[in-house]
Structure 1
Amino acid sequence: MNQFEMMGISPKLAARIEALGLKEPTPIQQRAIPLALEGRDVMGLAQTGTGKTAAFGLPLVEMLAGLGKPEPKSVRGLILAPTRELARQISDTLRDFVDGTPMKVTLVVGGASINSQSKRLERGTDLLVATPGRLIDLMDRKALRLDQAKFLVLDEADQMLDLGFIHALRQIAQFLPKERHTMLFSATMPKQMSEIADTYLKNPQRVQVNPPGKAADKIDQSIHFIAKAEKTNLLKELLGEHKDELSVVFGRTKHGMERLARTLEKAGFSVVAVHGNKSQGQRERAIAAVRSGQAKILVATDVAARGLDIPAVRHVYNYELPNVPENYIHRIGRTARAGRDGKAIAFCAPDEMGQLKDIQKVMKLTIPVASGRPWEPAEPQKKSGGGRPGGGGNRRRGGKPGGNAGGNAAGNAGGKPFRGRRSGGPKRSNRAA
């Protein structure tokens, strides 16, 4: 009898997951699975990459086994996720769990044919994995019914709040039976989470295996204080040092990340991009290219910050710091997965000091500095006096020989990128470390 059987998982399901490589439960699985099998509502808090999908997926499969075929258009278990990528990851994992059984897993997300999805739902499904927007679209078409849903799972519920899904969740809740078994999982716990918990869960058992905001222990974090204009040069240098390893580069905007991907491609790197302007098919092909090793670098916005499970990712670069501090935790959680080690490297320009302060406050730590010094607050501009206002003015080029360790990439051909110096404006105090 293995450890999953000791928690109440049947021998057949335990054998299936062992064949998939799941031999020992993770801490969140050890604590959540027995409670779920007892029929208790569960609020699970655990960092990314710790096996939350199996923590709710295995009890669902166990409790739904042997119920026969679902009624037309009916759903027995509903799993809601905030992004297409996460929803697809969950559905792929659940399909592995039900392989060889009559149980059916259906995925419905935006960016794919809604008519095809409606057709697949006609015969009913055991487990439906959905994004809230597409689910409501299908409900408006009367393509499915939720009145027989015995189970509800909200995965990465904190991001649903970030993406403004709270109104969609309230709308969906009206069609769910009041008597149901509900589980909520999240890596962080913002204050508004209590509203979701009170709406959906009844006397939930809280399972927390790490403090909210804590990243995986095996992630080696560091930060470079660097002028915005020099970020791309530094990124090229660091990526060039690990050309054979998989990396994910995160930024804030769709257009910015598309431009960065093209710049890296012209520099000779094998790169693909994922962001909101890409179709679902383009996103899936890009992620598949990284998984297979055909592409070594994935450039992405926060649409890939959750649900992207590529265990071989070795480096995560925060080319731009996120505006939402919790997203930093999810971004760097794309590495150091399944017990592996990983590195998370962040770049901080002068106008990102506020984001850095928020991130370190949430994580309750100071990220080790790789180069440069923290930027000083901008000094108020005097009304009189010649010259242009500071802060983002002309970038200083060249400079005195030996003025920077490694040289200024803008002025010294072949030198290392210029790190940790303000690109114009008030008092420059940062020197390359």
Structure 2
Amino acid sequence: MFESLELDDALCRALADMGYTQPTSIQSLVIPDAMEGHDILASAPTGTGKTAAFLLPVCQFLLDHPKHQQGSARALVLVPTRELANQVCEQAKAITKHCDLSCGVITGGINYGTDKATLEQQVDILVATPGRLFEHIEKETFDCRDIESLVLDEADRMLDMGFSAIVNQIAGEARWRKQSMLFSATLEGRGVRNFANDLLDDPKIFNATPSRKEKAKTQQWYHLCDDLAHKDALLEYHLNNTIDSCIVFIKTRERLHALKDKLFNAYNMVYLQGEMPQDKRNAALASFKSGEANILLATDVAARGIDVPDVSHVINYDMPRGADVYVHRIGRTGRAGAKGTAISLIEAHDYKWVGKIERYTGEAFKARVIDDLRPKHKAPKLVKKNKSKNKSKTKLKRKTPVTKVKKRHKR
């Protein structure tokens, strides 16, 4: 029960209103140490309650230490995308429903008049994308000196999008903060670790393994496609016969528009892409979330953080640029223990991803066929590199041992 985590009654009431009765694995791990003021470095699969894991201790701190005078935001949550910012702000408002705490959001794509109104409200919790917030810091329309809690959500995605320098500058402006928390889909890789070393002070580290109930129950398979026409036929078969609500991922804006032009008149669909006016992005997501449209075409701008209930299928029309992105895409279905299906349409030039995804996920990734749409060609053979020869050459060249010196970041 959430009461056992010593959360304020007002927060527990809000959680009950939201239909949450038991904390998830990541929440049970993070919240006690976060409430004691420790910095946090945490990883958990998508759809396992990561957002509440940082919002609840932030809200509890603000309730325990009420502000005595008007000022700027006391808690700042940085996220990589506009959609995720709006979603986190919505959840923050739901969690603070019975509290005297206010929440606001600032993202790119919105006119500056809206930002001014948000900042003038002097909200307690501000959710923002790094680029737009840094503009306000440079213009001195936002002051970081009152920030006591700094949260970075989807930190690995922020690194991928090139926000590292800006985030470090924002953190420098908020150097009087009392606590920092960094959440990432994975803690692997030098980038996230370096990011954490720069921003966190002796953090508690959590890599949550969700319970069987929390784990996504997502069936995964792929269809081998002979060519683009075969791929289109397989896509239309599933759109016509198997899906209730579906996100179709495409790798570029150009390919998204080509597919939209083929299918738009035949299906009830909306689309989402980068460099799209924010009002249109919001309208497309609202239409999909409400069920008015049951198919969403999207580039990878929608692969992170979009929490739409009851998405029955994810279809990878194009394979992503990495196995980690594949995992985030298919995380849009099978959320919070629900059942979901992920189907990938793979042409010969993308067949290498079969082995890569199996190795990354540790799960079988098998082919399926539809009788009337069987592929005419067999799967290509993967060429394996002779690692032993490469190793022997390397050993012959190396005459003296090389001593690596570990560099530490100065604080």
Q: What TM-score do you get using the length of structure 2 for normalisation?
A: 0.86
Partner of 1:238: 238
Q: 1:395 — aligned with what?
A: none
Q: Give the equivalent residue in structure 1 for 2:389.
A: none
Q: CA deviation at 1:320?
A: 0.7
Following the alignment from structure 1 to structure 2, what is the Cα–Cα distance between the partners of residues 132 and 42?
20
Q: CA deviation at 1:106?
A: 1.0
Deviates more, 1:94-103 or 1:229-238: 94-103
For 2:127, the equivalent position in structure 1 comes to 129
CA RMSD of aligned residues (A): 2.1
What residue number does 1:82 align with?
A: 80
1:290 equivalent to 2:288? Answer yes
Q: Which residue of 1 aligns with 2:396?
A: none
Deviations along 1:279-327, one digit per CA (max 9) or x if unpaired, are: 1111111111111111010010111111211111010001111012211
Paired residue for 1:24?
A: 22
Query: 3-state SS of the aligned residue for 2:368?
Result: strand
The answer for the alignment partner of 2:306 in structure 1 is 308
1:256-267 matches, within 5 Å, as 256-266=255-265
Q: Is the 8 A contact 2:318 2:346 kept in 1?
A: yes
Gaps of 5+ in 1: 372-404, 407-415, 428-433
In the other structure, the counterpart of 2:375 is 419
Matches of 1:70 and 1:18, distance apart in 2: 31
Alpha-carbon shift at residue 339 of structure 1 (Å): 2.0
Change (3 A) 1:355 1:327: same
- Structure 1 position 62, deviation (Å): 1.1
Q: Which residue of 1 aligns with 2:167?
A: 169
More helix by share: 2
2:12 matches 1:56: no
Secondary structure in 2 matching 1:299: strand
Q: Give the 5 Å matches for 1:16-415.
A: 16-65=14-63, 67-68=66-67, 71-72=70-71, 74-191=72-189, 192-210=191-209, 216-229=215-228, 230-243=230-243, 245-266=244-265, 268-371=266-369, 406=371
Please say which of residues 218-227 and 349-358 is displaced more in the overlay: 349-358
1:134–1:422 Cα change, 3 Å: farther
Do the aligned partners of 1:251 and 1:320 also contact (CA within 8 Å) in 2?
yes
Contact 2:87 2:307 in 1 (8 A): yes
Amino acid at match of 1:166: S
Structure 2 Cα separation of the partners of residues 101 and 11 of structure 1: 10
Q: Which amino acid aligns with 1:81?
A: V
- How far apart in 1 are the matches of 2:68 and 2:117? 17
1:263-285 alpha-carbon deviations (Å, 9 max, x no partner): 2223x211100001321111111
Task: Measure, in 1, the Cα distance between the counterparts of 2:227 and 2:130.
Answer: 37
- For 1:161 and 1:420, the matched residues in 2 are separated by 42
**In the TM superposition, what whole-angstrom CA distance separates every residue of 1:308-349 from its partner, at most 9, and x where no partner exists?**
111110100011110122111110000111221000111111
How many corresponding residue pairs?
375
CA distance in 1, matches of 2:54, 2:276: 30
Q: Hey, what's the Cα distance between the residues in 1 that align with 2:69 and 2:242?
A: 50
Would you say the 8 A contact 2:145–2:176 is kept in 1?
no
Distance 1:275 1:70 in 2: 42
Q: How high is the TM-score relative to the length of structure 1?
A: 0.82
SS in structure 2 at match of 1:310: coil
Residue 134 (structure 1) shift: 0.7
Distance 2:125 2:302 in 1: 23
CA offset digits 1:214-253 (Å, max 9, x no partner): x94411111112134121110000111135x111101110
Equivalent pair of 1:316/1:332 in contact (CA under 8 Å): yes
Give me the whole-angstrom Cα distance separating, in 1, the residues matched to 2:184 and 2:172.
23
Q: Distance in 2 between matches of 1:210 and 1:173?
A: 29
Letter of the aligned partner of 2:246 in structure 1?
Answer: S
Contact 2:25 2:209 survives alignment (8 Å): no
| Matches of 1:150 and 1:345, distance apart in 2 | 44
1:182-228 deviations in whole A, cap 9, x for unaligned?
111111234111111101111111111239xxx94411111112134
Q: How much does 1:102 deviate?
A: 2.5
Percent identity reads: 35
Change (3 A) 1:344 1:235: same
Shift in CA distance, 167/358, structure 1 to aligned 2, threshold 3 Å:
farther
Distance 1:249 1:55 in 2: 29
Q: Do the aligned partners of 1:40 and 1:205 also contact (CA within 8 Å) in 2?
A: yes
